[in-house]
Amino acid sequence: MLLSCQQPRERVTTPAFYHWQTRLELSPQEQSLVKELGVQRLYVKFFDVDWDPELQAPVPLAQVELAPESYSGLELAPTVFLTNRTLERLSGAEVPGLAGKIHDKIFSLAAQDSSLHIREVQMDCDWTATTREAYFELLGRLRGMLRERGVSLSATIRLHQARFPARTGVPPADRGILMFYNIGQLQQWEEPNSILNLEAAEPYLKGYEPYPLPLGLALPLFRWGVLFRDGEMIKLINNLTEERLAESPKFQALGPARYEVLEGTFLEGHYLYPGDRIRLEAVAPEQLFAAAERLRELPWPDTLEVVFYHLDGVAVSQYAPEVLDSLYKQLARE
Amino acid sequence: MLRPGFVIILFAFLAGWLYPAPISSNCRTRPPFAGYSFISPLILNPELNGAPLFVDFEALERYYERKGNPQIQGNIEEWYERFCEVPRFQDIGVVVYQASITDLEQLESAMRSPSIPLSYYLRENSFAKYLLKNKCAETVNYLIFAKRCEPFVTRNDAWADAPNTARFRMQELIEEGLQAFRRTKSHYIRLRYAYQIIRLAHYSKEYRQVLELHEYLMPKVSNDPSIIEYWIMGHQAGALLALGERVEAAYLFSRIFENCPSKQESAYRSFSIKTDEEWNACLVRCENDEERATLYAIRANNPNSKLIVEMRNIYGLAPDSPYLTLLLIQELKRLEKHLLGVSFNDKRRRNERYYGIPTREAGQRVIELQRFATQVLDEGLIRDEALWRMAEGYLAFLAGNYYDARNAFQLAKKLAAEDSPLEEQIRVFELAMEISAYQSITDSMENRLAEIRQYNKLYEKYEDFSDFTDDKMYQLYRQNGHEGKAYLFQYTLDQLKPNPQPDILDELITICNKPNRTKLEDQLVARGDSTFLYQLLDMKATHLMNNYQFEAALETMKQMPRVEWDNYGLYYPFIDRINDCVHCKGWPDNISPYNKGELLERLLQLEYEARAGTGNTAWNYYQIGLALYNMSYFSYSWKAMDYYRSGASLAPANLKDGDNVIPNPRFPYGNQEHFDCKQARFYFERARLATDSLNFAAKATFMAAKCERNEYYVNRWREGAAQAFENFGLLVQNYSQTPMYQLFIEECKYFKAYALRE
């Protein structure tokens, strides 16, 4: 009786964005979107770390260039994408050194903007059972260094990792961001939408228990075309739109969001052969609302950061500010 | 080192990283692809333009590793040529790449003053001495300048930040270089100055300056053809690309790709076409059909390109293009991966699951390539007819048309030079086809295959023959009901031990005992070697013991000489223990162990005496029960009836199919555990009923209780399973006054808990 008389607990949600390009220079439209949503934090990919086969060592790639005047007033959380193959090839003794290099590189890139005050750094890595040990060791080292500067460390968490923490391990970070996308079977032609497939996600959501780390939530705002050749998925073509294919006589619609190439042609820098097939994938607002409806039932922390992946022209053109506003607010109610 | 077009390459690489990987990829580690390949890299000339790029052969990669970095190699070769091949090749490398500025400045000083010696590092260097002797001041001054440029154009530490002053220093160097360029008389050295200057401008991201410098400097250089011109062209193309002049950039990169092996890979990576309009403009920009064919070759080099389409394009423009050969071999390799031996590849399902290979379209691709090969051969415009004939044969083989394949190989052999790599390649394909074509099992086939396995040099040289043959024969023998022979083509006898299969053992024992074995049978059963046969007999006896067929097991053991019995294990199964242990050691000295044959004899004797009532019946039954218990999974003599035991076998997940066979990737038939204690319990109960001694009855009852507990443990996963305490109940009710009872209370906590609960 007592329980039934309690008010439903309010959850506070805040919006944020990922920025995944090599130059952080927000367009006026992007600035406007950020402002209208009341976004205060941008997770900015500062660089990637990949293994250089020539040097036989990890190297930083695609280092960010900052244009501070375009994002003034926003807090930046440097994000570093680390490839699994780097961890696979790295010896245990090299892990502390890499942690130090990542740490130093973040702050040297941040020096491009003298007004920058970093409070959080995020690591993004799709670790596996074989790379977990090295990755967690690296996170632990990095976290120690950041703590001395009063900076916290967060890590991206894939859905299966969030669902089975005992099996996959919990990264030694201060918090995590659950990446709720890339859920379906990308490689299968029959897949309806690998970016956001609630049916495929359901087994992971059923019986979901609170994650050992405080979690934020990342939702997808991107689109791509998945290119199949001879029955095999061979490429992703980013930001590919339906109009681009529908308007060309070189493509024939096979069904909703599915096309076949009729005549050899270059598309966004990729040469396509007759017989190639493309599945277009994007996330409609109603799909995002359905996901939010399902996700809000999960045991989130009282303060939930909803991070949209990612801020670019597509996000601006495809998602109205009021849609994104309702979306993150929808997750506020428990 | 920051190469031209680096930024573009970077974007190309990063395209796949912009989005994190799908969740479905997280937990899986793909097993390696398992197929066969018989195409030899030797049929390609490794110096053929693009060979290492187009055809992914490890041998070609190794060839280039031996040759070293192509840019360094090309550079040293050119210096070597320019200096009339007088200095040693390696010494040029030392001066150009390893000497310090100080070494070079000392060399320059030595030219001016004979009293100044060469630095210690260069004292014995033939190139340095040549430069000194001939007073090649312009060369040395250039080398010093190049060394000063080096920190700004090479990548020493990818993590280090470029100094803030880098841009300024690079412009200073450009200015110094321009002055030196103007002073220099040698046009070859001028060309090298031009390269350094233009490269500095490119790495400063001053793209317009690159083009201006190019326009200013290059007309002032008149020299013999040099690779440096293509290096300069690379920077010019990179600048054009950065400035949006994409078609001209792509065209220049294609020229570099065509003409400059040391920059071929970077040119390929930098070549970028985004639209049909750009592609068509680039085709128009080309000066002839050979240049256009190169554009198609670059497009074909994409890992997922449709090679037949591109081959047709190239053939239409330049039928004798060397790219055709490269693409033909590349497509043959791709099709071989899909189709060779696919009907008998034992990893086919795994390949399908993890790699989607073979695809449904592979057969269609073979037909298309066959059509194209026929056209090419009919028209007679290509260079390598023998190679195309060979390809025709291999395609027919992959399509399963052995008759056409044989004919094509015959024609190809007539065209190929004797003892050439191509001739060897044809013979390799013929051998693979011969093995693949076996349909029935005959003595002559077996003798022929044995000879191939033993003596054929190609079989030995091409390592995939072994796996190819094993898979083929495994399938062929199984289809014909020869489980034993089939087994030995895939596995070892040791892999059979955890769960011996009687059909396999019987067939192999029969072969061992066969008077006129074929040569292949000889190879399989080690010529009927007695050790091999005895191992089979021991396995069969063990299998029979597992099924309590002791007479049959003894008869099997008797097929080997009695003196051999000790070689197959010694056991102590008649020692009493209250608490179970599996790995006990330290047996009393006064107890002799039994080998398997003796143990069988002893068990049969005990049974006979018990039934005949000629001895102590209760004791005899107890001894049999004790041996059976100790030979089970739960006790220390388990090795008498099994070869492999795992503690994990008792996990409920492993028990649930009820067959006591636990799958194990190492063992094709899994691991069968001897969990059964029913037979032992039966004998303990008979011992209890047959004895007059309460104390002995207590002992037999206690052992029966252990059997009862084990039975429950093995069946605990069944619905409604409940542990019975029938024998513990008997112990408490009937034997609580016996000394044995007291001993059990003291030694066995499990029983004590039960008794106290009562």
Q: Give the residue with greater pLDDT, B75 vs B544.
A: B544
Run of H or E residues at B668: strand B667-672
Per-residue tokens: B396 = 């027919």
Quickly tell me which residue has 């130090």 as its tokens. Answer: A100
Q: Is the peptide bond before A68 cis (omega within 30 degrees of 0)?
A: no
Q: Does B564 map to a domain?
A: yes
Burial class (CB in 10 A: 0-12, 13-18, 19+), B175: exposed
Peptide bond between residue B674 and the one before it cis (omega within 30 degrees of 0)? no
Q: Is the predicted pLDDT of residue B489 greater than 90, yes or no?
A: yes
Cβ pairs bridging A and B (under 8 Å): 108
Is pLDDT of B10 > 60?
A: no
All residues at 6 or more sequence positions from A253 whose CB lies less than 8 Å from its CB, including other chains: A245, A246, A259
User: Nearest CB to B302: which of A105, A264, A271?
Assistant: A271
Q: State phi, psi for B642 to the nearest 5 degrees.
A: -155, 160
Does one domain contain both B559 and B574?
A: no
For residue A56, the one-letter residue type is Q
Alpha helices, DSSP H only, in B495-529? 502-513, 519-524
Q: Which residues of A touch B304 (CB under 8 A)?
A: 229, 232, 234-235
* pLDDT less than 70: residues of chain A: 1-9, 333-334
Name the amino acid, one letter, at B730.
Answer: L
Per 3-state DSSP, chain B is made up of helix, strand and coil in percentages (nearest 5) of: 65, 0, 30
**In sequence order, which residues have a C-beta less than 8 Å from that of residue B421 and are 6 or more positions away?**
B40, B42, B43
Structure tokens at B613: 């009532």
Interface contact A158-B26, CB threshold 8 A = yes
Domain count, chain B: 2
User: CA B296 to CA B316: how far, in whole Å?
Assistant: 11
Q: What is the pLDDT of residue B535?
A: 96
Share of chain B above pLDDT 90, in %: 71
- In three-state secondary structure terms, B95 is helix
Cα B232 from Cα B194, distance rounded (Å): 8
- Region of A21 (left: φ > 0; alpha: ψ -120 to 50; beta: rest) is beta
Q: What is the pLDDT of residue B584?
A: 79
Give dist(CA B229, CA B223) in Å, integer. Answer: 10
* B546 and B628 belong to one structural domain: no
How large is the angle between the packed helices B749-757 and B726-734, nearest 10 degrees?
70
- Residues B564, B602 within the same domain: no
pLDDT at B17: 30
B interface test, pick of A230, A235, A310 with most B CB neighbours within 10 Å: A230
Q: What is the DSSP letter of B417?
A: P
In a domain, B542, yes or no: yes
Which of B3, B9, B24 is the mutation pick for testing A, counting most A CBs within 10 A? B24
Residues B530 and B576 in one domain: no
**Pair B686, B717 in one domain:** yes
ipTM of the complex: 0.86
* Residue B343 covered by a domain: no
Strand intervals (E) in B66-128: none
Per-residue confidence (pLDDT) for residue B51, from 0 to 100:
61
In the predicted model, is pLDDT for residue B26 greater than 50?
no
pLDDT of residue B550: 96
pLDDT tens digits along B378-400: 999 988 899 999 999 999 999 99
- For residue A234, list chain B residues with Cβ-Cβ distance below 8 A: 304
CB contact under 8 A, B19 and A236: yes
What's the CATH code, domain A8-221+283-330? 3.20.20.80
Mean pLDDT for B243-268 is 94
DSSP state of B330: H
Q: Answer yes or no: is B22 within a domain.
A: no
Please check whether residues B556 and B644 belong to one and the same domain. no
- Do B598 and B747 lie in one domain? The reply is yes
Residue B673 lies in a domain: yes
CB–CB contact B22 A194 (8 Å): yes
| Same domain for B654 and B664 | yes
What's the pLDDT score for residue B598? 97
**Which two tokens mark B37?**
């390949």
Asked whether residue B218 is assigned to any structural domain, the reply reads: no
Do residues B576 and B701 share a domain? yes
Domain, as residue range, for B476: 438-568
- At B45, the pLDDT band (50, 70, 90 cuts) reads low
Q: Which of B568, B601, B624 is the last residue before a domain boundary?
A: B568
B512 and B597 together in one domain:
no
Cβ burial B235-260 (10 Å sphere, 16+ → b, else e): bbbbbbbbeebbbbbbbbbbbbbbbb
Residue-wise pLDDT tens digits, B49-72: 666 666 665 655 555 555 567 788
Question: Confidence band (pLDDT; 50, 70, 90) for B83?
Answer: confident
Mean pLDDT check: name the lowest of A166-175, B520-529, B638-647: B520-529
Q: Map out the domains of chain A as residue ranges.
A: 8-221+283-330, 223-281
Residue B676 region by backbone torsions, left for phi larger than 0, else alpha for psi between -120 and 50, else beta: beta
Q: What are phi and psi of B590, to 5 degrees?
A: -85, 5
Q: Identity (one letter) of the amino acid at A34?
A: V
Residue B740: inside a domain: yes
On chain B, the residues whose CB falls within 8 A of the CB of A232 are: 304, 356, 359
Which residues from B are below 8 Å from A184, CB to CB?
22, 24
A144 closest CA partner among A115, A82, A102, A177: A102
Q: A20–B306: do the CB atoms touch at under 8 Å?
A: no
Query: What average pLDDT does this structure show over B37-48?
Result: 78
**Residue B473 forms part of a structural domain:** yes
Question: From B355, which residue of chain A is nearest by alpha-carbon distance?
Answer: A232
- Give CA B417 to chain center in angstroms: 34
Q: Report pLDDT for A6.
A: 46
Token duo for residue A29: 């439209």
Which tens digits make up the pLDDT trace of B393-420?
999 999 999 999 999 999 999 999 999 9
Confidence check: pLDDT of B105 > 90: yes
pTM for the complete prediction?
0.80
Between chains, do B25 and A126 touch, taking CB under 8 Å as contact? yes
Do residues B585 and B699 share a domain? yes
Is the bond preceding residue A310 a cis peptide, omega within 30 degrees? yes
Spell out which chain B residues touch chain A, with contact meaning CB-CB distance below 8 angstroms: 10-11, 13-27, 29, 158-159, 161, 272-276, 278-279, 299, 302, 304-306, 309, 356, 359-362, 365
For residue B484, pLDDT over 60 is answered with yes
Question: What percentage of chain A reaches a pLDDT higher than 70?
Answer: 97
**B612 in the same domain as B710:** yes
Per this entry, what is the length of chain A?
A: 334
Residues in chain B closer than 8 A to A48 (CB atoms):
14, 17
**Predicted confidence band of residue B360 (pLDDT cuts 50, 70, 90):** confident
Of B18, B29, B158, the CB nearest to A55: B158
Residue B395: its pLDDT value, please?
98
Specify the residue for token string 């970095």.
Answer: B69
pLDDT band with cut points at 50, 70 and 90 for residue B19: very low
- Give CA–CA dist A201/A219, Å, rounded: 13
